[in-house]
Structure 1
Amino acid sequence: MTSSEQTTTAGDQDRERAHLVELMEDMPIAMFTTFGTEGPRSIPMARQEVEPDAEMWFITARDTAHTRALGHDASVALTFSSRDTWVSLTGKAYVVDDTAKLRELWNTFAEAWLPGGPEDPNAVLIRVDVEKAEYWDTPGGKVASLLSFAKVKLTGDTYDARHGTVEP
């Protein structure tokens, strides 16, 4: 591969990453899947930051099954969705005791689950280091989705969606 091909590939990845971040701005809730000793288990969790090329943060309780599962296997899968966009991320997740970071990320949503605040000894962070991300996006939103479905029914062609993969 020539250096110009590598530059193009890196540029494409940067554009895909930026598009992915933009898509996720309105998707705060993930189905967070762990792979502990009891097998896969998915729960809804609110993400605190969106930067797939860095880390994602979640606030949770220390005494939960999903937190314990990470002690056995750090692998996680996260899925996000909206009316016309779907995102799937995989990576490694770690329980992090960092009260300063917990205070920085604390919000009223976390308060509802952990009323003791960021100083609650049961409050803890989960940091997910994203290894791979995929998205499926229907450009144009709901109207474009309806037109694509109509096209499928009338012509037999496949559904028009944009698909991308992002790897750090």
Structure 2
Amino acid sequence: METSTKETKQRNVENLSGKAAVSKIRELVDSSGLCFFQTEVSFDENQSARPMSIQKSDEDGTLWFLSSIESAKNAEINNNPKARLFFQKTSSMEFLELRGTAKISQDKKMIHELWDGIAKNWFPQGKDDPRISIIQFTPEAGHYWDTKHGAGLAGAKMLFGLVTGKPMKVGVEGELDV
């Protein structure tokens, strides 16, 4: 069902594709740094989500993570490479959901590029720990919610709408087509 222009303006929807979608992804990903990484994406009970730290985001929207080659997450990706990521930037009430494909490698050059001191908590042998793997997540589509004004102003607008009975446009949302 196609949304009319009038309905789109009332709902404050701004769908983004190509470079604009990638720009929105990088803006939200780079400012949050953490996500919930969901594997075994389906509509049954066999889904797993866990918090993950993003090591890098590329110009094309590709996201990079470090993970143990022995982890359940890696086994799930090997079984089904489809994944979903969920981001939240609480300070400004921005949210992002990405759908895409995950790929695992043990490229030593990339591990060295992505390495930071915090990773030593999971890989005590350092950059050359044989258990380190890389997860490369390539986004295909997603959805974002952005207040455009931060949590304080969004809350004030919602309260004003409640008191006056006149709905206030709190932010913008839209589909992302990478």
- Name 2:176's counterpart in structure 1: 166
The TM-score normalised by the length of structure 2 is 0.80
Counterpart Cα distance in 2 of 1:122 and 1:21: 28
Counterpart Cα distance in 1 of 2:102 and 2:33: 18
CA-atom RMSD in angstroms: 2.2
Counterpart Cα distance in 2 of 1:130 and 1:12: 12
What's the CA shift string for 1:101-140, capped at 9, x where partnerless? 0000100121111111121110110001111122101111
Counterpart Cα distance in 1 of 2:168 and 2:55: 35
Q: Secondary structure at the match of 1:39?
A: coil
Stretches of structure 2 that go unaligned for 5 or more consecutive residues are 1-15
Q: 1:31 aligns with which of 33, 36, 40?
A: 36
Number of paired residues?
158
Whether 1:126 aligns to 2:142 is no
- Name 2:25's counterpart in structure 1: 20
- Name 1:139's counterpart in structure 2: 148
Q: Which moved more, 1:34-43 or 1:60-69?
A: 34-43
Given that 1:53 and 1:130 are in contact with CA atoms closer than 8 Å, whether structure 2 keeps it comes out as no
After TM superposition, which residue ranges in structure 1, 4 or more long, deviate above 6 angstroms?
none
Q: 2:94 aligns with which of 85, 93, 110?
A: 85
Q: Secondary structure at the match of 1:114?
A: coil
- The AA in structure 2 aligned to 1:92 is T
- Name 2:68's counterpart in structure 1: 61
The TM-score normalised by the length of structure 1 is 0.84
- Name 2:113's counterpart in structure 1: 104
Q: After superposition, where does 1:145-164 map in structure 2 within 5 Å?
A: 145-154=154-163, 155=165, 157=167, 160-164=170-174
Counterpart Cα distance in 1 of 2:29 and 2:61: 14
Counterpart Cα distance in 2 of 1:61 and 1:153: 48
Counterpart Cα distance in 1 of 2:75 and 2:20: 36
Deviation at residue 144 of structure 1 after TM alignment: 1.6
Deviation at residue 15 of structure 1 after TM alignment: 3.1
Deviation at residue 159 of structure 1 after TM alignment: 5.6
Given that 1:86 and 1:135 are in contact with CA atoms closer than 8 Å, whether structure 2 keeps it comes out as yes
Q: Which moved more, 1:60-69 or 1:143-152?
A: 143-152
Given that 1:52 and 1:130 are in contact with CA atoms closer than 8 Å, whether structure 2 keeps it comes out as no
Percent sequence identity over aligned pairs: 22
Higher RCO (C-alpha under 8 Å, 6+ residues apart):
2
